[in-house]
């Protein structure tokens, strides 16, 4: 994936474009279905789930959560390695 990313300010309002309460970022497209089920069963939070294109891209979001105060959810499964 390329180096393009939205600013922290844009990321923090991205959910509004989807009429969701929060954005959830996952590794890949196969993870979306899994996490949709988890959030539907375990939470009343309305979320929009987006894949970021792999483990390395997800790591960048993890770093940005602390470095830029992103207000997003990152969901990773057992095969995620740091």
How confident is the model over 62-78, as pLDDT tens digits?
999 989 989 999 998 77
Name the pTM for this structure: 0.88
Mean pLDDT by 10 residues, the chain (82 residues): 80 96 96 96 97 92 92 85 60
pLDDT of residue 47: 98
How far CA 49 is from CA of 14, 31, 73, in Å, comes to 11, 9, 9
């Amino acid at each position: 994936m390329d180096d393009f990313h939205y600013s922290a300010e844009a990321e923090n309002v991205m959910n509004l474009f989807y009429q969701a309460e929060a954005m959830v970022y996952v590794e890949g497209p196969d993870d979306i279905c899994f996490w949709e089920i988890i959030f539907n069963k375990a939470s009343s939070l309305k979320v929009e789930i987006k894949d970021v294109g792999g483990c390395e891209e997800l790591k960048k979001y993890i770093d940005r959560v602390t470095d830029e105060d992103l207000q997003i959810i990152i969901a990773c499964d057992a095969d995620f390695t740091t």
